[in-house]
Amino acid sequence: MSSVKETVISFKWVDFYYDLKRPILEEVGFNVRKGSKITLMGQNGAGKSTIFKLINGEIQPNIGNVHVDKKFTIATGYQVVLAEDKSLTVEQFFIKYLNDDSIRNTDRKIAEVLDAVNLKAKLDKKVEDFSGGQQARLLLAAALIQNPDILLLDEPTNNLDSDGIYHLTEFLKNYTNTVLVISHDADFLNSFTDGVLYLDVHTKRVEQFVGDYHDVVEQIKKKIEKDNMANARLKKEAQAKKDQANVFAHKWGKLRAVAKKMKEAAAEMEDDMVDNRKEDKAIKSFTIPLQEGIGGVLLDIKSVHIIKDDEVTVKPVDVQLRKDDHLQVAGPNGVGKTTLLEKIVNGDEDGCIVGEGVKIGYYRQDFSNLDFNQTVYDCLREVASQEMPEQKMRATAAGFLITWDIMKSTIGSLSEWQKWLVAFCRLVFLEPGILILDEPTNHINFRHIPIIAEALNSFEGGMILVSHVDEFVWQIRMDQYLDL
């Protein structure tokens, strides 16, 4: 009997586009075998989430074929909770995602998946009352409760603390069904990956590699170096042929025919050059200007509300935030970090007093403080100073890779990565006295992290930062630490 496992997902010559002039995928082909654990890599905006949507049938290819045998069930763990799901109780949330024939024994099944993601939750608690990290676990559990043959996970470590990432890692290592994961977390991926599908944002094609994540990254690096060397040689030889052809072209008789052949040979060499992948377009270095005319204590924190064993309690603290003071707020998922930040912004935390007239720039991890029906242009224009010229506004936005096409789009139509670009650009236009940042590295490629860290490190106002990404926090000067 053959030991080769059957193919569960097959892409053949797949093209996909929303706009014919701007294809997302071109001639994509790959196979995924049953029980394999595959990482889907690619730069921001390359189309990784599009591949997930093609697999689970949300969209159909314009050209080519995506084949998933109907006997295989699929579940997707998304990055963020849907707006219409936030008002559901835990029980209602899971019933929505259970298969129709699996309604019996729901309490037992819910208990099993909550245990798998290491989350304690009462069935009558609403989804919106959970922290970002807890909602991330609920999203994963909603996919698991469907008991799928194929599990698709889109940035599953976003918002998870180290404990949450550990439990997810152990679960995936022991999971026997097929898994495809989109993530930028190298150590997490390397713990379980069998192979990598690399989607190139420039060629629009997918290359398939076998091996663990670190091995594959090294393979990709060596392939780029090899292709670059081959391209350099072909370019040099093609130019030599062109130079000779130009000399012979001015001669008589047979030399003109030779010149023609040399030009054809040069063209063939140029055609043989590999469309080599380039680095992500990086956002430009930026600074967040400080609000003028402020001083003294910008924020006085005497007490905070925290959540312990599902009970709210008051914790006395003594923290004062002045200009150029950077505060890190830490604690496990569910302790109340996001709630605290939101209450400070809204003026609802009794023990926290914001200085009069101090503007707060708030980056919220789920972007719910943005108006999803608003255009990007209006979202930025409303916080930019009235004196700012249109040209400067557009130039600043362009530094965040916000094109005019994006400017005309609504916030709700953007990808999570594009919402991140808008949220940070908005902070620059706002010129705040205090920055409050809740997991600001979610949704971004690791190449952008040093640029963001540099901007936050140099911010001259007060700053509160919540982040579970140690490598990011270490690049930023922190003056005070509040462990909830």
pLDDT at 461: 94
User: 157 pLDDT band (50/70/90 cuts)?
Assistant: confident
Q: What is the pLDDT of residue 277?
A: 47
Q: Where are the domains of the chain?
A: 7-217, 218-272, 297-483
Instruction: Report, as an integer, the average pLDDT of 165-178.
Output: 87
Q: Answer yes or no: same fold for 7-217 and 297-483.
A: yes
pLDDT beyond 90 at 104: no
Write down the pLDDT at residue 279. Answer: 47
Predicted pLDDT of residue 410: 92
Q: In whole angstroms, give the CA distance from residue 148 to residue 187.
A: 25
pTM for this prediction: 0.66
End-to-end Cα spacing for the chain: 58
Radius of gyration of the chain (CA): 26
Q: What is the pLDDT of residue 1?
A: 43
CATH of the structural domain 7-217, one choice from 3.40.50.300, 1.20.1250.20, 3.100.10.20, 3.90.180.10: 3.40.50.300
When pLDDT is averaged across residues 146-166 and rounded to a whole number, the result is 84
Is residue 216 a contact partner of residue 290, using CB atoms and an 8 Å limit? no
The tokens describing 162, both together, are 């180290």
pLDDT in tens, 346-360: 888 888 999 999 999
DSSP assignment of 326-364 equals: EEEEE--TTSSHHHHHHHHHHT--TTEEEPTT--EEEE-
Q: Residue range 135-140: average pLDDT?
A: 86
**Which residues 6+ apart lie within 8 Å of 7 measured at CB?**
31, 32, 33, 34
Write the CB contacts of 393 (distance below 8 Å, at least 6 apart in sequence).
Answer: 380, 381, 384, 429
- In 3D space, the residue among 109, 84, 112, 116 whose CA is nearest the CA of residue 95 turns out to be 109
DSSP annotation string for 34-91? TT-EEEEEE-TTSSHHHHHHHHTTSS--SEEEEEE-TTS-EEEE-SS--GGGTTSBHH
Burial letters for 204-223: b for 16+ Cβ neighbours within 10 Å, e otherwise? bbbbebeebbeebbebbeeb
Given a cut of 90, whether residue 117 has pLDDT beyond it is no
What is the tens place of the pLDDT at every residue in 30-61?
999 999 999 998 777 778 889 999 998 989 99
pLDDT band at 88 (very low <50, low <70, confident <90, very high): very high
Placement of tokens 């719910």 in the chain: 368
Q: How far apart are CA 368 and CA 385, in angstroms?
A: 23
pLDDT in tens, 245-258: 666 566 655 556 66
User: pLDDT tens digits for 363-396?
Assistant: 998 888 899 999 999 999 999 888 888 899 999 9
The pLDDT score that the predictor gives to residue 249 is: 61
pLDDT at 215 over 90: no
Whole-number pLDDT of residue 373: 93
pLDDT of residue 45: 72
Domain 297-483's class? Answer: alpha beta
Return the residue matching tokens 């008589």.
252
What would the pLDDT profile of 391-447 be if each residue is shown by its tens digit? 999 999 999 989 888 999 999 888 888 899 999 999 999 999 999 999 888 777 666
Residue that is written with structure tokens 């690096």 in the block: 221
| The total number of residues written for the chain in this structure | 484
Tokens of 457: 């490190």
Distances from the Cα of 94 to the Cαs of 79, 123, 159, 227, in angstroms? 17, 10, 20, 49
Residue with tokens 């922290």: 131
Measured at the alpha carbon of residue 93, what is the angle toward residues 91 and 95, in degrees to the nearest 5? 70
pLDDT for 273 beyond 60 = no
**Pairing, β 434-438 against β 360-363:** parallel
Tell me the pLDDT of the chain averaged across its residues.
Answer: 84
Q: CA 429 to CA 423: how far, in whole Å? A: 10
Per-residue pLDDT, 234: 67
